[in-house]
Structure 1
Amino acid sequence: MSAQWWNLKTEVCGLNQILKEILDHREGNFLLPFFWQHDGHRDELPGQIQKIWESGCRAFCLESRPFEDFCGEAWWKNLEVILREAKKRGMKVWFLDDKHFPTGYANGTTKTTHPECRRWYIREDHVDLMGPARDISVLIPPCKDDESLISICAFLRTGDAEEISGEPVAFSTRPDDRFLYLDLPKGCWRLFFVYRTRANDSDYISMLTEEGPRALIEAVYEPHYQHFGEYFGDTIAGFFSDEPSLDAPYIGPYGRDPGFYYRTVGQPGVALPWEDLILGKMESSGWSEYWLPALWYSHREHSPNVRLAYMDAVTGLWKRNFSYQLGDWCRSHNVMYIGHIIEDMGAHGRLGCSAGHFFRALAGQDMSGIDIVLHQVMPGMGQYQTAADISEGVADPEFFHYILAHLAASQARQTARMKGRAMCEVFGAFGWAEGLPCMKWLIDFLLVRGVNHFVPHAFTDFFPDEDCPPHFYAGGNDPQFESFSKLMKYTNRAAHLLYGTDMEAAGAILYHGEAEWMNGQGCMFSEKPAKICYDAHIPYDIVPVDSLLRAKAEAGKFMVGERSYGFLAVPSCRYLPEPFWQAAKSLKAAGVPVFFIDAAPMCPEELPGEVVELKKLADHIFSKRLAHDYHAGSALLRIARFDREDTSAFVLFNENPMPILESVRFPAEGKYLKMDLLNEVYEKAETKDGVVDVSLEPGESALFLWGGVEDQEMEAFPKECCWKERSEVCALWDIDLYEQGKAAGYSPFRCQSELINITGRQGNPQFSGKIRYRTSLDLKKAPLGLDLGRVGVSAKLSVNGHDLGWRIAAPYRWDISSYIKAGKNEIEIVAANTLANRIQDAFSRRMPIPPSGVLGPVYLLRTSEKQFEKEDIYG
């Protein structure tokens, strides 16, 4: 029911503390939207910050987009204004840590003061020779600018494609030699020349040395501290790294470019990230510079381990020199370090546009992080590949729906320093067609997967800005802005309730990073078993080998930090690193079930687990009673459990494009609260056996809370309202239009009209703004609800002059019982659409533009049960 919940707070003073804070509007802030900075807008800054405050966000992240005088006098003068305004409002300020994304440009200092910090790569050239041959010579390919020869060696070819075998035959030359003289035994040989090179002449720092990230600190971090050190740890909250990468380029001439999401070891023609430190680490594993060709070409016996040694070195150096160096600097200056890499479709475990290993890449941060932008996740499309403005133009639903958010949530809960903080940059570059229902859908999509901090993308300092809309407020032109605050406040309420809880994970799925390095395309990705589990409502974390090595196992469970797991599922592959097998033996000894999906890998000893078919994984887990069975038939009904002391909260979210009506069997019974945190509707109910009938519209979520509320406190809440009857409202409406940002007020559009799509064929296709509807209804005084049916995209209802607030997603429904009278009742609705109709931006071509206004059918709702048991509570 839509009670004025604030009347409850004097009645329930003994509530669980977190719930009390939510009821009292004292929730914390979990939002830090980007606030884009361009030159020449200093005078507008106080007003822009005020709008961020009005939106419900209590922090923001400044981003040069770009600001040409970044870290110059104009930048510092702007920051004086920004920090003063933020401090006045008690807001926190973050900094995106470079002049422009991706992080690593170091404000251009590699072109001026630190050219030595630019990135190095290795490339190979080769010639195929047939033996036996004596006293032959081969031209040595000349070094290009900024190149040096690392090694020359030959491998015997097997005849199977470009496979090589045996031990390398090493050769040496003098620096000025143009010819290599050699004798060859019988067989076909490939002679390799491996070079250290700048490859793509990048102006970005190397993340693999201590000096590269130090240059970034000197160029960006320390100047901010020198100018505004008094704000650090107070108004200034920290720094944000956006999409730093190793940036391995395809340079050819061999192989073909697989695309920058997919460049990694095992691909001819890809220049691989390099620093001389890598060779030392590989040598400690037994691999000299003469084994480097096995990074590109398959070696019959040794490629998996050569590639593992190389990738371990690369990702370990990133972790120590980039992630930890920046993180340690921030923590030593009393601020936090956050951010994300590019994760798309497995890129997180590769070298092209990412960092080779999700967990190591972010290890030094104080939050884990991801992003969802550019139509990567589309509501209701979790079973389909969808068009998106990303590599190859297609978003893979298995990756984006089943593992991306779980990567962040898993790392945040396995890493003590992160304290469960999982962040997502969200909303960006969907276009103006991305209305509030879509935004709310994305927030719920993330919340139910364990993400609890959000970077909305973005506020900008001028309008119109063609850069990656939608933008919020948009110089007063955004029709949704008034109701955008409802979404932001909902996000803070939900995150406040869920942050700091123990999110349930029945078991763990092994992170496939090392397996992909060793197996290439012969590796099953973690999202495969993740999809099987998630569609069966089996909760899981993603666990890397590094975490398994520090796990403690006993009595059929293993723990990583404070996280407990009842099984480990290992995606199919042929090879796994030796440390995995050590950990797996310990799990088996402690009675922890280990499931190898579809096939057993090559195991040095007896397999420490059992082989399970992928399609039978969920049934196998249930048969061993390793997870609770909710008996929910819809795979796209998402369920997550969050525990805090004696309280269990279950978040349910309908990702199906159709309504869901399910009888869900919860692992809890007795009295509970059903919470609609978006519309602040809190109702009590009870179940004797844990079975609850759940009805959710497409994109609707609900939270069910057991515990934390005493019986006498529970009585202060109204009973759950079940609308049992409905009758269509056959009214005619007076409709007025207000084109926000262009008109002074409302103008008449239609009188005594039926409901139509305001921007449809019979309306004004280019209208963006507010739409006002007025009518009168003759009603009896009785418990009644009003449902508007379809709305594009948000709507506010007033009954007899009483403002009942906004609805930003289905169901567009209000309890009007307390506001109606017997006889004539004045009904007013204000709907708001998006700016897509007016601006028609390119990003909006990737998704449907919602209809505009109230489309109905409008229904009056009735319940056969008395709604209010304690009328005095609601006055």
Structure 2
Amino acid sequence: MKLSSKGKSLNNTLLTLALILLVVLPGCNNKSFEDSERNIGQWPEPTSESNPWARWWWMGSAVDKANLNYLMHEYKQAGIGGLEIAPIYGAKGFESKFLDYLSPQWISMLHHSIAVADSLDMQIDLTQGTGWPFGGEMVTPDMAAKKMRIQQYSYSEEKGLDRPILIEEKNIKGKAHYLHTLMAFQEGKTPENLTNRIGEDGSLSWDGKGDWGLVAVFEIQTGQKVKRAAPGGQGFTLDHFSNAAVKQYLDHFDSAFNKDFPGIRAFYNDSFEVYGSNFTGEFFNYFQAKRGYDIRNHLDKLVSENTDEEVSRLKSDYRETISDMLLENFTMQWSDWAGSHQKLTKNQAHGSPGNLLDLYAAVDIPEGETFGSSYFPIPGIRRDSSDIRNVDPDPIMLKFASSAAHLTGNKLASTETFTWLGEHFKSAFSQAKPELEQAFLAGINHMFYHGITYSPQEVAFPGWLFYASLNLNTHNSLWPHIKGFNAYVQRTQSVLQSGMPDNELLVYWPVYDVWADPEGLGKTLTVHGIDEWLHPTPFYKASKSLMEIGYGVDFVSDALLNTLKVEGNTLVGAGGKHKISVIIVPKTAFMPEATLQRLLNLAEAGAHVVFQEKPADVPGFKDYASRKNTLDNLWASIQFKSKSNRSEADFGEGKIIVSNELPGALVSLGLKREKLTDLGLKFIRRSLGEDKYYYLVNHTSKKVSEMVSFATEGKAAILMDPEQGTVGLAKIQSGKEETKVAISLSPGQSIIVHVLKELPKEELLSWKYEVSSPAIIEMDNAWQLTFKNGGPIIPSDQLLEKLMPWTALSGDGYEDFSGQALYESSFELESLKENAKYMLDLGKVLESARVWVNGKEVGYAFSIPFRLDISNFVKEGENKLEIEVANLMANHVRYLDRNEILWRNYHEINFVNIDYKPFDASGWAIMPSGLVGPVKLEVHDY
């Protein structure tokens, strides 16, 4: 079963939706969490889903079996677990190889890709269209996205109409349109519907008495077509609000595949970018069924420039109705349809004019997005001024997707990762890692690279590229090192996909406060607009402050409150497995009386609910005075007692607290925060029965090395390094309701702490800690530098008297080279200390290193602080050290542009820079590349 009503129409409220969700959740086999094995001292078993995935652009769908075979084997070797096929525009000069989307030849290539994926234990997702958003040549004008064109007229008994009622939109050619509704308004009179009294010439056949104001609503196509469409995928954007249009769109796929769908895992829908779409033909009838009144009788207020209370309430109802239409007519119908074909759905709800939590909750894999780069105070991390976007990525935005996954029992919450992380060819793993860690900390556990472009072997460097991507493809000079980064991702995700989420707080999201904005009409909740609709809100400020002081937080909507049960004083979601301690209601201007009633019911059953303030009012227009009275009466039924900084009431089996000082209220309820955040550490926690996984990250500028307190009782703890994969038994101090664990994390490092309720039966090696003053062995011998793979030419090898980046060398090719080069040297160990930890510190690496000691591969150092434990590889006497360094593509691309060598030659948008201007690297400065060092060996003997 799927998380929806499976094709049945819902009743008039989202609360009914929530009850339906609650009924179907326990039986959702593909959505429920399974209890993880404890994996004592071991990493969870790797799966295709614990490996990173990638969006896979098919440029022009110019794919062939030989290259599909080659590339997919390369991806598998690099540690990619799955691919999301997204056909887009093609490269010029290859038109003869283009395959039309959904043609028999295209479908044959899709089947072949899936067969190869199956043979490699990989999986495939498929976007259900080309480019974005959904649309294409199958979308007829009546199925296409619509908007309202509102025009106002005056009518007098003496003079008649001031002008013909004809659409006055410019550039109307080619856009289907018609007069949908005409309403007449006069003070003190009942509005009149004159829609059927208009002639084809715009004349009005009516004998109204006195002076009237008329409001005409024209339905018109937005005219938007699919962005970045692939051959065979061009056409109008779909009307996502129309049940009939969406059904017709989905029927086209049934026909194209003859109902014989290939073995893909999931259908995918990108972020909602249907610009200007705010209407559909059935809107007014749908509105009346949902909201209980005819908004046509209030069009004069809805379109007025006033910002009074009634206007705000009408606009709130309009926005809620649009949200309902998107949820029911598109998202649920789509998810229902996919489920009927035994497929999952993966959806990006952000950007839509809807309730993000409910939209995410209606699919199998909610997906967020990281766009741009964040500031991290990690010493040495590069962030160029040209890389900074208008709004930094915000992990709280990602929590809308992960919260929906947690509350509905979905195992996976995904993210489109690294969209415009930086300017093309200038982004390194060291910049990507903390950005990804920020997503992991927000509850994401299924990352997708944005992305990899299918590029045939015969296409020269830099291969086919997509204009908004990190472009980590097989032509990238970092590609030979991506296996190391992917291993880090896989280990981390294997933990974050284990057990159950363990966030103790649910913060109520008052979406009606967003919808009550008196400005404008539509309200799209975009990643780029969070400074307007998210950051200023009490909800955001409360959530952020609670996370910063060490509480685990998920978000809950009005509808999702109805999926919760109460056991004792604990709230339970996700089919009985996700346990929550307290619901937080931040300062809220508008709350439905049914929502307050639900909160009181939960408290009566045993839940604890903390309000910052009494909810001020009810949303919406109809009967709002009487509904406000109901809200007030419900609140008055709570018998509060005053405390020093709060009001508190025993309510049934639970408690209700009102306090603007939320941390104090939580302490009064006995909640323990994670004090580790006082050290600047960030965390996310998973439960495995009575055990806990903590994913811990140091994004500060200082090393943390001390006994760190964890708010869980344990008799042992295991440290797990996701970069190198090492595991060991930690030093701990057990205490009542907390465990202190010895932690040493440099800026930029992460660690997983597995806190065990009971002592492990297995015999485990102890974790090797670093000491404060290790012995230092300087690597000051000469270095042999050998260039391996890359271009535009392979420079001459060099013997370096002292370590330096290769771009500092004089001669042909050094500055222009992008690829991999090997630095070789040696060091002496007079004696080998059995229990010592030998840490190789590479210093500054530009940009990634792969290390061998005595001919054995140690691993990859791809991110700050560029350190590797080589304890198991060193020996007494002379030790050979080999360090392969991979740099960025920037210098090679600069060479191409300076020499006017054509490489960007695509249809549609072609190739642009981070500011969407024509790309040109000819003026770039050389990016320093190679091993800067200093390289040294630390001997931690204890």
Question: Normalization by structure 2: what TM-score?
Answer: 0.75
Equivalent residue number for residue 827 of structure 1: 881
The DSSP-based 3-state class of the residue aligned with 1:704 is: strand
Q: Which moved more, 1:795-804 or 1:836-845?
A: 836-845
Displacement, 1:703?
Answer: 0.6
Aligned pair in 2 of structure 1 residues 677, 224: CA closer, same or farther (>3 Å)? Answer: farther
Match of 1:644 in 2: 688
Aligned counterpart in structure 1 of residue 390 of structure 2, from 387, 391, 394: 394
Distance 1:669 1:720, change over 3 A: farther
Deviation at 1:142, TM superposition (A): 2.3
Segments of structure 2 that go 5 or more residues without pairing to the other structure are 1-35, 90-97, 168-175, 226-235, 456-461, 520-532, 618-627, 639-655, 895-910, 917-923
Contact 2:145 2:238 (C-alpha < 8 Å) held by counterparts: yes
- The structural deviation recorded for 1:660 is 3.8
Partner letter of residue 203 of structure 2?
A: R
1:804-843 mapped onto 2 (5 Å cutoff): 804-839=858-893, 843=913
Q: Please point out which of 227, 239, 245 is paired with 2:267.
A: 239
* 1:19 Cα deviation from its structure 2 partner: 5.3
Q: What CA distance in whole angstroms lies between the structure 1 residues aligned with 2:213 and 2:733?
A: 72
- Distance verdict in 2 for CA 1:536–1:246, change over 3 Å: same
Structure 2 equivalent of residue 656 of structure 1: 700
CA separation of 1:296 and 1:660: change in aligned 2, threshold 3 A:
farther
Which of 539, 543, 564 matches 2:552? 539
Count of residue pairs brought into register by the alignment: 780
**Residue among 617, 624, 636 paired with 2:662:** 617
How many angstroms apart in 2 are the aligned matches of 1:167 and 1:676?
74
State the match for 1:48 in structure 2. Answer: 71
Alignment partner, residue 115 of structure 2? 84
Q: Note closer, same or farther for the CA distance 1:612–1:850 as it changes in structure 2 (3 Å cut).
A: farther
* Aligned counterpart in structure 2 of residue 273 of structure 1, from 275, 279, 283: 279
- Could you tell me which residue of structure 2 aligns to residue 151 of structure 1? 182
Distance 2:774 2:45 in 1: 34
Structure 2 residue aligned with 1:160: none
Percent identical pairs in the alignment equals 18
Residue of 533, 537, 540 corresponding to 1:527? 540
Q: Report how far residue 639 of structure 1 moved.
A: 1.4
The yes-or-no answer on 1:789 pairing with 2:843 is yes
Deviation at 1:424, TM superposition (A): 0.8
Q: Provide the C-alpha distance between the structure 1 equivalents of 2:883 and 2:927, rounded to a whole number of angstroms.
A: 18
What does residue 94 of structure 1 align with?
Answer: 125
What residue is the counterpart of 1:263 in the other structure?
none
> Does 563-572 or 695-704 show the bigger shift?
563-572
Task: Map 1:255-404; keep pairs closer than 5 Å.
Answer: 272-282=278-288, 285-288=291-294, 289-297=296-304, 298=306, 300-341=308-349, 343=350, 347=351, 354-373=352-371, 375-380=372-377, 393-395=389-391, 397=392, 400-404=393-397
1:122 aligns to 2:151 (yes or no): no
* Aligned partner letter, 1:509: V
Q: Kindly provide the CA deviation profile for residues 140-164 of structure 1, in whole angstroms up to 9, marking residues without a partner as x.
A: 55233612141324376xxxxxxxx
8 Å CA contact 1:797, 1:830 repeated in 2: yes
TM-score (norm 1): 0.80
Q: Name which of 213, 216, 231 aligns with 2:249.
A: 216
The change in CA–CA distance for 1:295 and 1:552 in structure 2 (over 3 A counts) is farther
Q: For 1:192 and 1:376, how far apart are their aligned partners in 2?
A: 46
Using the TM superposition, give the Cα deviation of residue 649 of structure 1 relative to its aligned residue in structure 2, in angstroms.
Answer: 0.7
Maintained 8 Å contact 1:661/1:695: yes
* Residues 105-138 of structure 1, C-alpha deviations (whole Å, 9 max, x = no match): 1x3212xxx3321223223223589xxx975644
Distance 1:576 1:640, change over 3 A: same
Indicate conservation of the 8 Å contact 1:27/1:496, yes or no. Answer: no
Secondary structure of the residue that 2:249 maps to in structure 1? helix
Does 1:480 find its partner at 2:502?
no
Paired amino acid for 2:859: G
Aligned-pair distance for 1:502?
Answer: 2.0
Distance in 2 of aligned mates of 1:425 and 1:752: 45
Question: Mapping of 1:462-541 within 5 angstroms?
Answer: 462=455, 463-468=462-467, 474-475=473-474, 477-519=475-517, 524=537, 526-541=539-554
- 1:261 aligns to what? none
Q: Secondary structure at the match of 1:360?
A: helix
Distance 2:830 2:775 in 1: 15
Give yes or no for contact 2:548–2:677 (8 Å, CA) kept in 1: no
> C-alpha displacement at 1:406, in angstroms?
1.1
**C-alpha distance 20-296 of structure 1, shift in aligned 2 (>3 A):** farther
- SS of the aligned residue for 2:293 comes to coil
Is 1:570 the counterpart of 2:585? The answer is yes
Q: Distance in 1 between matches of 2:484 and 2:795?
A: 23
Distance change >3 Å, CA 333–CA 195, structure 1 → 2: same
Distance (whole Å) between structure 1 residues aligned to residue 604 and residue 37 of structure 2: 41
Letter paired with 2:551: I
**Residue 212 of structure 1: CA displacement?**
1.7
Q: Cα distance 1:596–1:135, how it changes in 2: closer, same or farther (>3 A)?
A: farther
Deviation at 1:511, TM superposition (A): 1.9
Kindly provide the amino acid, as one letter, of the partner of residue 569 in structure 1: I
Shift of 1:80: 4.2
Unaligned runs of 5+ in 1: 1-14, 157-165, 250-271, 348-353, 866-875
Match for 1:605 among 624, 632, 635? Answer: 632
1:510 Cα deviation after fit: 1.6
Secondary structure at the counterpart of residue 740 of structure 1: strand
Kept in 2, the 8 Å contact 1:402–1:531? The answer is no
Q: Kindly indicate whether residue 595 of structure 2 is the aligned counterpart of residue 580 of structure 1.
A: yes
Amino acid at match of 1:143: L
**Equivalent residues of 2:510, 2:591 under 8 A apart:** no
Match of 1:771 in 2: 821
Deviation at 1:16, TM superposition (A): 4.6
Structure 1, 292-301 or 332-341: larger mean CA deviation: 292-301
CA root-mean-square deviation: 3.6
Q: Deviations over 1:25-84 (max 9, x none)?
A: 678544331222134341422111111111112321111023651111331342243233
Displacement, 1:412?
Answer: 0.5
- The structure-2 alpha-carbon separation of the partners of 1:628 and 1:209, relative to structure 1 and needing over 3 Å to count, comes to same
Partner SS state of residue 478, structure 1: coil
Compute the displacement of 1:630 (Å). 1.5
Structure 1 pair 558/730, CA: closer, same or farther in 2 (3 Å)?
closer
Tell me whether 581-590 or 33-42 shows the greater mean CA deviation. Answer: 581-590
Query: Which of 838, 843, 855 is residue 932 of structure 2 equivalent to?
Result: 855
SS at the partner of 2:215? strand
Residues 68-77 or 597-606, more deviating: 597-606
Q: Work out whether residues 789 and 812 of structure 1, in 8 Å CA contact, stay in contact via their aligned partners in 2.
A: yes
Q: Are the counterparts in 2 of residues 736 and 746 from structure 1 also a CA contact under 8 Å?
A: no
Q: Which residue of 2 is the match for residue 713 of structure 1?
A: 762
1:350-370 superposed Cα distances (whole Å, 9 cap, x missing partner): xxxx24221333343211111
